[in-house]
Amino acid sequence: MNQILRLAFFAFIVRPLMMIVLGTNVRRSELLPTSGPAIIVANHNSHLDVFALMNVLGLKRLQIVRPVAAADYFMTRRLRRWFATRIVGIIPIDRSKMRREKGKHPLDPISEVLDANGIVLLFPEGTRGEPETMDEFQSGVAHIARRHPDIPITPVFMHGLGKALPKGEALLVPFFCDMFVGKPLDSQLKKRELMNQLSSSMDELAAELPMEAWS
C-alpha cells in the first residue's frame, strides 16, 4: 500500500512538477548509476533537490533509491515524519550524534541500504544553507566510502532549485534545474584525498555554468 502511494506521488505529483513547472536539464545522465549499490552525492540548495534527483533516476529505480536526511529536522513533527519516511523514503541520520551508541554506529542504517543494493542520495553540505552557494562538504561521505570501498560515488552538481524554492520561502517560482553529472570518484582513497577529489570535481562541474552566482 505504502509503495503504491509512494509510486503515485512520484508519478503524478513529482514528475509533472519537475517536467512542466520546473524542468530539468541533465548533462551526461549516462554517468548516473543504473543499479545499486551506489552513492550519489550532490550539493544542496532546496527541498526540491531530492525530488529532482529521484525524478531523473526514474520510477523504475524508485524502489531502491533512498535519500539520507537529517533526523533532527524531518523526524520532529508527525506529518512531516510520515511524509519523509513513508513517501520520500529517507534514511534518517541524526546530525548531532557522531559516536557509537549501544554498539550501533550512526552510519549503520546507510550501510544496511547499501548492502541491500540500494542507491543512496547524500547531500554532504549537511544543510540547504544559503541558496546557490556551496558550503564545505562534511566528511560523512568519506566514512561511508571507508566502510564500502567498492561502491561507486557519483558527484552531481545542481543549480536552479535554490532560486525556485530557497530555504525559508513558501512561494514556488518556476526555474530550470541544471544537473551536471560527474565521473565517479575513486572510493578507495583516504579521507582527506577523497574529500579533496569531491570538492574539486564539484568545482569543475560548477564551472560549466555560464552564469555568475545568484545575488
Partner 1 sequence: MNHLAWEVRVTLISIFALLATSNCMLFIKMRYYSGTNDTLIRHRIRTWWALAAIFSLALCISSQGGVVFFGFISFLALKEFLSMSPTRRADRRVLFYAYLSIVPQYYFASTDNYQMFLVFIPVIMFAWLPTRMWMIGQGDGFQNAAGTLLWALMITVYSLSHTAYLLTLPLEQHISNGPLGAIAIRSHHPGPGLLIFLILMAETNDIFQYAFGKAFGKTQVSPTIAPGKTYLGLIGGIISTTCLAGVVGPLITPMDLANSFIAGFMIACVGFAGELCICALKRDLKIKNFGATLPGHGGVLDRVGNLVFSAPLFFHFIHYCYHQ
Give the nearer residue to partner 1 in terms of CB position, either 8 or 207: 207
* Residues 108, 69: Cα–Cα separation, whole Å: 14
Give the nearer residue to partner 1 in terms of CB position, either 149 or 174: 174
| Strand 119-122 to 38-42 pairing | parallel
Query: Would you count residue 131 as binding partner 1 (CB under 8 A)?
Result: yes
Q: From 65-73, 141-149, 165-173, 187-195, give the range in contact with partner 1 by CB under 8 A.
A: 165-173
* Residues 10, 96: Cα–Cα separation, whole Å: 30
Q: From 7-15, 89-97, 163-171, 194-202, give the range in contact with partner 1 by CB under 8 A.
A: 163-171
The nearest distance, CB 16 to partner 1, in angstroms, is 13
- The full 3-state SS of 170-205, as one line of letters, equals CCCCCCCEEEEECCCECCCCCHHHHHHHHHHHHHHH
Phi, psi of 10 (to 5 degrees): -75, -30
Peptide bond before residue 109 is cis, with ω within 30 degrees of 0: no
Query: Would you count residue 171 as binding partner 1 (CB under 8 A)?
Result: yes
Give the nearer residue to partner 1 in terms of CB position, either 35 or 215: 215
Give the nearer residue to partner 1 in terms of CB position, either 125 or 178: 178
Query: Would you count residue 188 as binding partner 1 (CB under 8 A)?
Result: no
Q: In the set 34, 173, 183, 190, which binds partner 1 (CB under 8 A)?
A: 173
The nearest distance, CB 26 to partner 1, in angstroms, is 8
Q: In the set 140, 166, 182, 184, which binds partner 1 (CB under 8 A)?
A: 166
- Of 199, 110, 173, the residue nearest 147 (C-alpha): 110
Q: In the set 9, 74, 83, 176, which binds partner 1 (CB under 8 A)?
A: 176
Q: From 7-15, 49-57, 59-67, 169-177, give the range in contact with partner 1 by CB under 8 A.
A: 169-177
Query: Would you count residue 36 as binding partner 1 (CB under 8 A)?
Result: no
Q: What are the residues binding partner 1 (CB under 8 A)?
A: 23, 25, 131, 160, 163, 166, 169, 171, 173-176, 210-212, 214-215
